[in-house]
């Protein structure tokens, strides 16, 4: 195991243990950009654990974490940290949340680790070495048609202002696929796609820390991640379309159709 991966695994599990211990209790909740953009004391405490571990092991690396100021990189390596992906779920005691840690050099993702502390499931990937769930190799599903697929999506924090736009995509998915799920953790949605529990996923306005690790897990499991037009996916971009690869063209056609009829 690479030193990068080893440290990320250890940090994710330590932070995950904290989440697991606290999620059924009371939380100190604050609001960030809106009344539906939450942060808890546990977000901050878990992030502090992860950032301290990464900074101690790799002092030259940069760190971009959701709840704290960015640390600049001195050697081109950049960590992306979401200490609690699915904060709203966590704050309500809904057991769908995860720790997400990824390492990139420039635009190239190197390592991704997503830890689900409720199910004790660790999804991980190293570029060029495949994807794993609790150490066993995983692969995307063989589903070849959108009508046979189970999809997932999420709604950005401006959903109250643009509900019709986001719901139009959800409605189209309901009409074209076997089902659509909205669970509230982008990191886990991507990892569940990677291991075949889901067949495709889309979302707008994600942040790099939400999706960096999950994107690498999907790609190393044989899936495909692009923007809505099928172009290269950018961590700082506005669109994420992911699939098992076999239904990607149909997914993109669906997204394009809805975007034409229901622009923001």
pLDDT in tens, 76-128: 999 999 999 999 999 999 999 999 999 999 889 999 999 999 999 999 999 99
Same domain? 160 vs 102: no
pLDDT range class, residue 162, cuts 50, 70, 90: low
Higher pLDDT, 51 or 261: 51
- The residue with greater pLDDT, 208 or 160, is 208
- Domain boundary residue, one of 115, 137, 159: 137
List the domain range (segments joined by +) for residue 20.
Answer: 3-137
My answer on whether 229 and 113 are in the same domain is no
DSSP for 146-180? GGG-EEEE---TTTTTSHHHHHHHHHHHHHHSSEE
Q: Are residues 126 and 156 in the same domain?
A: no
Q: Using alpha carbons, select from 112, 90, 84, 121 the residue that is nearest to residue 8.
A: 112
* Average pLDDT, integer, range 187-203: 98
Q: What is the pLDDT of residue 199?
A: 98
In contact, 247 and 200? CB cutoff 8 Å:
yes
Count how many domains the chain has: 2
Please determine, for residue 38, whether its predicted confidence score (pLDDT) is greater than 60.
Answer: no
Find tokens 């709840």 and name the residue.
Answer: 67
210 in the same domain as 230: yes
**Pair (125, 33) in one structural domain:** yes
* Cα–Cα distances in angstroms (integers) from residue 11 to residues 6, 16, 43, 111, 190, in the given order: 9, 8, 14, 13, 20
Predicted structure pTM score: 0.94
Q: What is the pLDDT of residue 59?
A: 97
Cα gap 51→65, rounded to integer Å? 8
């Amino acid at each position: 195991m690479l030193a990068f991966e080893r440290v990320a695994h250890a940090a994710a599990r330590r932070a995950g243990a904290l989440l697991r211990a606290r999620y059924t209790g009371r939380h100190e909740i604050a609001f960030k950009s809106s009344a539906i953009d939450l942060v808890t004391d546990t977000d901050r405490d878990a992030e502090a654990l992860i950032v301290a571990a990464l900074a101690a092991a790799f002092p030259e690396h940069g760190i971009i974490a959701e709840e704290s100021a960015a640390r600049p990189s001195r050697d081109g390596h950049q960590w992306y940290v979401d200490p609690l992906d699915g904060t709203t779920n966590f704050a309500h005691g809904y057991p769908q949340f995860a720790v997400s840690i990824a390492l990139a050099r420039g635009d190239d993702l190197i390592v991704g680790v997503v830890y689900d502390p409720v199910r004790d499931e660790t999804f991980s990937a190293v570029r060029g070495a495949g994807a794993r769930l609790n150490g066993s190799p995983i692969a995307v599903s063989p589903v070849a048609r959108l009508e046979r697929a189970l999809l997932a999506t999420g709604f950005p924090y401006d959903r109250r202002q643009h509900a019709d736009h986001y719901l139009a995509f959800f409605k189209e998915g309901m009409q074209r696929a076997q089902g659509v799920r909205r669970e509230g953790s982008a990191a886990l949605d991507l990892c569940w796609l990677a291991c075949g529990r889901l067949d495709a996923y889309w979302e707008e306005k994600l942040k790099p820390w939400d999706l960096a690790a999950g994107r690498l897990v999907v790609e190393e499991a044989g899936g495909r991640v692009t923007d809505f037009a099928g172009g290269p996916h950018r961590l700082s971009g506005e669109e994420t379309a992911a699939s098992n690869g076999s239904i990607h063209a149909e997914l993109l056609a669906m997204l394009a159709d809805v975007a034409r009829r229901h622009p923001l």
